[in-house]
Amino acid sequence: MTRIDAKFAELRAANKKAFVAYVMAGDPDYATSLEIVKGLPAAGVDIIELGLPFTDPMADGTTIQLAGQRALDGAMTLDQTLSIAAELRKTDDTTPIVLMGYYNPIYSRGVDTFLVQAKAAGIDGLIIVDLPPEEDEELCIPAQAAGLNFIRLATPTTDAKRLPKVLQNTSGFVYYVSVTGTTGAAAAQAVDVAPEVARIKASTDLPVIVGFGVRTPQTAQDIAGVADGTVVGSAIVEKIGAGEPVADVLAFVKTLADGAHRA
């Protein structure tokens, strides 16, 4: 059982929904990023999504693209990203960390080497948005053999024919992308999300978490109410990019977590 599996078991036992927060590693700099990540669990975050900066983030909107660029401008690396996870693990051995990004930096490092390093750093799962199920032998299957969950995205365009393929080797949870487009592109609507979540849950026992387009505590509550939890990324990253103090960023995160937990 991974930390992700354990966290969902704990939430189910408490009849609570999950709140997942995304931040870009190294944004706006290593020290500030580490301080934010360390503060997320106390702000109510159940699972941390840690963005791996990349030069061509095709699934991300402007807000997260800019965060990645700020991190890269500050010379953020894969090693430093893993270091943030390792630093959190010195004081927190229970909050799951999901590394979210693109395959190129992992491929460049070498899959076997990367998986050993990620596991040692305390990473629990991977979301690699540019590796489709047809490429599961590349990373998905080795990752799961190494004890990491491999989390797949389902979208409004994932039809009945495609869904079984998407779910085939997925573990941890399914990430449902609530809107067609990039991160931060549009507002998620619970009335649209609910039937899609039900459709996915009819085909899997995994939790379904909904992200993209969740920006307010009320939306977090609404979306978590029709799913097993929700993800917020761009709205948090915007505040980091605006230079808001860490305490203010974390206070905002807490309002989102409280919203999701009210569902």
Distances (CA, A) of 250 to 76, 197, 199, 210, 234: 22, 29, 34, 21, 14
Residues in the chain: 263
168, part of any domain? no
Contacts for 147 with CB less than 8 Å, ≥ 6 apart:
2, 119
Count of structural domains within the chain:
1
What 3-state class would DSSP assign to 63? helix
What 3-state class would DSSP assign to 211? strand
191, part of any domain? no
Sheet holding 149-150, edge to edge: 149-150, 125-128, 97-101, 47-51, 18-24, 229-232, 208-211, 174-177, 153-154
Give the pLDDT band (50/70/90) at residue 181.
Answer: low
Residue 189: per-residue pLDDT: 85
- The catalytic site residues sit at 49, 60
- Neighbouring CB atoms inside 10 A of 185's CB total 15
Domain with residue 145: its CATH number is 3.20.20.70
The predicted-structure confidence for 186-219, as pLDDT tens digits, reads as follows: 677 899 999 999 999 999 999 999 998 899 999 9
Residue 186: per-residue pLDDT: 60
246, part of any domain? yes
180, part of any domain? no
47, part of any domain? yes
237, part of any domain? yes
Domain that holds residue 114: 3-151+214-262
Residue 62: per-residue pLDDT: 92
251, part of any domain? yes
125, part of any domain? yes
Percentage of the chain surpassing pLDDT 90? 91
